Amino acid sequence: MPSISSLIEKYGAVPIVTTFPEQNVEWLSPDEFERQYGYPPGRIEETLSDRELAAVAEEKRLSLTEDRLAAFERLARLWNGECVGPDGLHLLADRVPSWRNITADLDEDELDALRPPSTNVEEEYIDAFGDREWFDPAPPSPTWLKSTHIARKRADYDISERARTLINEREDLPDLRGDPHEGLTHRVGVGIEAARATFDEHRRVETYVPIGGHVVDLLEHDRNGSERVGEMLTKHHNNRLYRSTWHKLVELERPAVLLFDARATAKRVFNHWQTRGIEVPGAPFRSALNVSWTRDTFHEAANDPQRTWPIEDVLTITTAWDEVKAASPTRREMVSLNW
């Protein structure tokens, strides 16, 4: 029999079972539960029968109408680097187009069931306490699509795990390219670095490459045949993953380029590495990261024979996009890029 905590985790709501005057199941959000009963859910282990739980799950199942299925198909194809929608929009060439434009010819009311809530009440707490080791925010309510900001543009079609599972398990939808759990920001970052390395530095680029017991986001080859690995890092609150990226770079023993979703993320990662005994050139960073100065500093350290610093370049999505723009690839070249 499932516990209250497992039901909240799975459905984002608390089942309240009543048997008089007739059997009934009411689902309350954790906030609604606390307002009604005066204490948070989870202190008691109310349960539902398998039959009752299955009935509720069936009611909460998304009905895949023709327009909703079309939206998922466009999302998967956009993610994979194709042009979609009535205007043939491309994730990179159109610099993260809006969800409304991608689905302009579909029924907006039907697609509301896929879209994220307008606000996240926990965001202020995550911003304030997210870097504390003790902070473990509750997972958001289940949804299909999430909002994110990429280079100051809002995208309302970052996918959740349930959306990823739906897309990858349906034979009538294309599988999503990339890492099994990456989000839209990571996917865009990999794409824009592939474009920058290709059009600005004239490198041959492969993405999601298994090498040396690891999978790297990018493997970039220069004209002399030398290899450089590329890794995309985004904002989250699991410092262990940031440390694992460092260990990966050390073990691969290749020059590296790091791309970040924002300067604040880069500052946090480098300062965290510094506190863990890694000699990061220029760290600790006490103010907003100066990307230009940091790039010069890292390049100098990577080419110093007295040091073993592997990172020879560092960028944000915004600065990488500026370099792509300066290289002036045609739209056809951007659309043809394999990433």
b/e sequence 318-331, b meaning 16+ C-beta within 10 Å: bbbbebbeeeebee
The set of residues, in sequence order, having a beta carbon less than 8 Å from that of 201 and lying 6+ positions away, is 220, 222
β-sheet with 256-260: strand ranges across: 204-211, 214-221, 227-233, 256-260, 311-316
Close Cβ partners of 168 (under 8 Å, ≥ 6 residues apart): 175, 176
**Distant-in-sequence, close-in-space partners of 65: CB < 8 Å, separation ≥ 6:** 107, 110
Closest CA to 93 of 318, 336, 260: 336
pTM above 0.85, yes or no: no
**Res 88: pLDDT:** 97
Residue 3: φ, ψ to 5°? -90, 165
What pLDDT score was predicted for residue 62?
73
Sign of CA dihedral 270, 274, 279, 284: positive
Q: For residue 183, which phi and psi values (nearest 5 degrees)?
A: -95, 180
What's at 329, amino acid-wise? P
Distance CA 175, CA 23 (A): 42
Q: Read off the pLDDT of residues 66-120 as tens digits, 9 standing for 90 and up.
A: 999 999 999 999 999 999 999 999 999 999 999 999 999 999 989 988 875 544 4
Pick the closest to residue 313 from 246, 189, 230 (CA basis). Answer: 230
What the block records as the tokens of 110 is: 């039907």
pLDDT at 331: 97
The radius of gyration of the chain from alpha carbons, rounded to an integer in Å, stands at 23
Q: What is the pLDDT of residue 134?
A: 56
Q: What is the pLDDT of residue 27?
A: 74
- Report, as ranges of residue numbers, the positions in the chain whose pLDDT lies below 70: 1-11, 16-25, 34-40, 42-61, 116-142
**Encoded amino acid at 98, one letter:** S
Distances (CA, A) of 22 to 17, 25, 26, 33, 248: 10, 10, 12, 21, 59
CA distances 78 to 94, 170, 191, 245, Å, are: 11, 17, 12, 27
SS3 call for 67 = helix
Is 208 within 8 Å of 215 (Cβ atoms)?
Answer: yes
Cis peptide before 41 (omega within 30 of 0): no
pLDDT for 28 equals 75
| Residue 185 CB neighbour total at 10 angstroms | 23
pLDDT at site 17? 63
Nearest to 116 by CA among 141, 136, 96: 141
What is the pLDDT at residue 120? 47
The answer to whether residues 190 and 229 touch, using CB atoms and an 8 Å cutoff, is no
